[in-house]
């Protein structure tokens, strides 16, 4: 099958999921209300609670994902052909991973920014808090370990890729400084940072060869 058709159908599935299923979760299950202040507004202290640009928050959560399934799942599914891989990505994103992440973040915001462990203590008592905290710790440890092994395998014998990943740290610091002290424009800083990263990516690849 033509890859363009697969991409178009996948984009359609994501668009429908965002338009209908996410709206159902937001309005019927979570019952979101823009009039409710977030913890960042209620407890704004300039340190732990700081109102932040929505695009910064979005990509921060995107970049700090801790679930191995969304990264390693498609890789494992691809061993059985492209169709299981596509099905995994579409169904897991729309019905599992996206729903889980959304609801966990919603619960935290609704409970003044508390962690899942603290919410469990409030709702389930001390035993529930200990159980949920231990389960979260071990699941996060296994997930990060699995992703670490996958990343190590991908970067092994690829010094240009390792260099590019390493450079994301100083680029991030540059973007912060640019937005804080030069021009307070998130999009502009993001575009510049991405341009630098892509330039380093291609330059490192050329130098390797």
Q: Residue 149: what pLDDT?
A: 76
Residue ranges of alpha helices (H) inside 156-178 are: 159-177
pLDDT at 204 over 80: no
Q: What is the pLDDT of residues 86-121, one digit of tens each?
A: 888 888 888 888 888 889 889 999 999 998 889 999
Q: What is the pLDDT of residues 123-155, one digit of tens each?
A: 989 998 999 899 888 888 877 777 777 777 777
> Measured between alpha carbons, how far is 114 from 107 in angstroms, rounded to an integer?
8
pLDDT at 157 over 80: no
Full-model pTM: 0.70
Q: How confident is the model at residue 81 (pLDDT cuts 50, 70, 90)?
A: confident
Question: Residue 43 gets which letter from DSSP?
Answer: T
pLDDT at 207 over 80: no
> Measured between alpha carbons, how far is 85 from 143 in angstroms, rounded to an integer?
19
> What is each CA distance from 9 to 1, 77, 82, 93, in whole angstroms?
12, 19, 14, 15
**Contact (CB, 8 A) for 73 and 65:** no
* All residues at 6 or more sequence positions from 50 whose CB lies less than 8 Å from its CB, including other chains: 40, 44
* All residues at 6 or more sequence positions from 179 whose CB lies less than 8 Å from its CB, including other chains: 185, 186, 189
Strands (E), the chain: none
The residue among 68 and 85 whose pLDDT is bigger is: 85
Q: Residue 67: what pLDDT?
A: 59
Token pair of 56 as six digits: 């910064």
Instruction: Round the average pLDDT of the chain to a whole number and report it.
Output: 84
**Contact (CB, 8 A) for 55 and 134:** no
Q: Residue 101: what pLDDT?
A: 83
Q: Please provide the DSSP assignment of 175-207 as one string.
A: HHHIIIII---HHHHHHHHHHHHHHHHHHHHHH
Domain residue ranges of the chain, discontinuous segments joined by +: 3-154, 157-209
Q: How confident is the model at residue 68 (pLDDT cuts 50, 70, 90)?
A: low
Q: Residue 21: what pLDDT?
A: 92
């Amino acid at each position: 099958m033509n890859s363009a058709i697969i991409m178009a159908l996948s984009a359609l599935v994501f668009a429908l999921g965002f338009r209908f299923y996410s709206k159902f979760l937001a309005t019927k299950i979570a019952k979101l209300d823009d009039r409710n202040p977030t913890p960042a507004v209620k407890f704004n202290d300039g340190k732990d609670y700081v109102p932040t640009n929505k695009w910064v928050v979005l990509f921060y959560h995107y970049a700090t994902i801790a679930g191995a399934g969304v990264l390693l799942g498609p890789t494992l599914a691809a061993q059985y052909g492209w169709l299981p891989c596509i099905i995994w990505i579409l169904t897991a994103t729309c019905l599992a991973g996206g729903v889980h992440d959304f609801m966990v973040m919603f619960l935290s915001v609704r409970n003044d920014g508390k962690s899942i462990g603290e919410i469990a203590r409030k709702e389930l008592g001390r035993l529930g808090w200990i159980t949920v905290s231990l389960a979260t710790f071990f699941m996060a440890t296994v997930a990060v370990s699995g992703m670490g092994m996958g990343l190590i395998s991908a970067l092994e014998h690829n010094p240009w890729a390792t260099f590019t990943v390493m450079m994301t740290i100083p680029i991030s610091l540059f973007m912060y400084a640019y937005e804080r002290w030069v021009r307070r424009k998130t999009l502009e800083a993001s575009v510049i940072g991405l341009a630098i990263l892509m330039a380093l990516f291609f330059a490192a690849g050329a130098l390797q060869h």
